[in-house]
Amino acid sequence: MTREIDVLVIGGGQAGLAAGYYLRRAGADFVILDAQERPGGAWQHAWTSLRLFSPAQYSSLPGRMMPVPPDGGYPSAADTVAYLTDYERRYELPVLRPVTANAVRRGDGHLVVETDRGVWQAKTVISATGTWWRPYVPHYAGIRDFGGEQLHTVDYRDPEPFRGRHVVIVGGGNSAAQLLADISTVTTTTWVAQHPPRLLPDELDGRALFELATRRHRAALAGETVQGIGDLGDIVAVPPVREARERGVLKAEPMFTRITPSGIAWADGSELACDVILWCTGFRPALGHLAPLRLRGPDGLIPTEGTRAVGEPRLHLLGYGDWTGPASATLIGAGRTARDMVAQISR
């Protein structure tokens, strides 16, 4: 059976819910398809010690403030799941789950969305599937020969399974720093990165990152440039990272050049034995369902004007990063971008 709808949202995480909030206010006929069995998006799969970069009031979706955690600190992943679950229920958003969108194709005056639970026809499709589902691991010589365990950020939950095992953590971003801080409490670690990681000043958090992303976006529209926060550092000094800094474990080694059966090796011939390689090397947008539309550019991304796909104006992309709206991969950024997107769709 094929069902018809005005707007179909693919993805029921923070971006999909933000879209749903504004679609509801606009009186749109819409449905949200979510591949997950429960509310909470990717946050329900994050490691247990994860904390947001910003206070609750700067980590909220439109219309409903995130509650301040009992300890008064930054919200945890569990706090965020609870918030998103309540948000979906409070606004009675029409989420169908678990439903996986397999392909989006062009139809006559509409887009056709093929799922594992049937086919939909929609005048407009909003893709909000995020990046968590496409972990990226770079290729290094010998990667298939390593005799230990290789994991990615998506596989990590807590440090206990690593006790007594030497862990190499790869990556120079926030995930690498936070997982290193966590794992180094129970075992020995080695941190390797392409460039020496730098912590932002302790007083800067996600609020500053969001404001900078917004200013950079506005400047780009005006043909101007704005100094990047990267000139100050790369990593937000959340409390666990600051504590790891005090323990002296945040020193990063240069990137290795190859992987051996027992560990890693550098260009100068030095080697290090390890039991685990943990790749904190980021993600790519989960856009496989859009492949039939053939919209990707040379960089692997879909060219957009705002959130609208240049090559298919019935398609909008939300929540994948700055290329689909300033800071749109964050809770507060997704909400602001969704507001402008739904206003455009309504017009």
Write the CA distances from 320 to 23, 130, 185, 257, integer angstroms: 19, 5, 33, 30
In this predicted model, which residue has the larger pLDDT, 321 or 146? 146
Q: Which segment of 20-34, 69-83, 135-149 scores lowest on mean pLDDT?
A: 69-83
Segment 105-125 mean pLDDT: 97
Q: Are 252 and 172 in contact (CB under 8 A)?
A: yes
**How crowded is residue 55: how many other Cβ atoms within 10 Å of its Cβ?**
18
Residue 290's pLDDT is 98
Segment 314-320 mean pLDDT: 97
In this predicted model, which residue has the larger pLDDT, 52 or 17? 17
Segment 20-31 mean pLDDT: 98
- Chain-wide mean pLDDT for the chain? 92
Residue 275's pLDDT is 98
* Rounded-to-integer distance, Cα 240 and Cα 247, Å: 11
57 pLDDT band (50/70/90 cuts)? confident
Read off the tokens for 67: 């509650």
**How crowded is residue 69: how many other Cβ atoms within 10 Å of its Cβ?**
16
Domains annotated for the chain, with CATH where assigned, are 2-133+284-346 (3.50.50.60), 149-199+234-279 (3.50.50.60)
Residue 55's pLDDT is 85
Segment 303-310 mean pLDDT: 96
Read off the tokens for 121: 């026809």
* Rounded-to-integer distance, Cα 55 and Cα 200, Å: 17
Q: Which segment of 11-20, 117-126, 214-223, 245-254 scores lowest on mean pLDDT?
A: 214-223
Residue 1's pLDDT is 77
Segment 90-118 mean pLDDT: 97
Q: Which residues pair with 30 in a beta bridge?
A: 7
Residue 226's pLDDT is 54
pLDDT at 34 over 80: yes
In this predicted model, which residue has the larger pLDDT, 87 or 197? 87
236 pLDDT band (50/70/90 cuts)? confident
Residue 81's pLDDT is 98
pLDDT at 111 over 50: yes
Segment 238-255 mean pLDDT: 93
Residue 229's pLDDT is 45
* Rounded-to-integer distance, Cα 180 and Cα 253, Å: 13
Residue 125's pLDDT is 98
225 pLDDT band (50/70/90 cuts)? low
Query: How does DSSP classify residue 288?
Result: G
Q: pLDDT for 146-205, tens place per residue? A: 999 999 999 999 999 999 999 999 999 999 999 999 999 999 999 999 999 988 876 666
227 pLDDT band (50/70/90 cuts)? low
Segment 209-233 mean pLDDT: 57
43 pLDDT band (50/70/90 cuts)? very high
pLDDT at 259 over 50: yes
* Rounded-to-integer distance, Cα 288 and Cα 286, Å: 6
Is the model's pTM score more than 0.85? Answer: yes
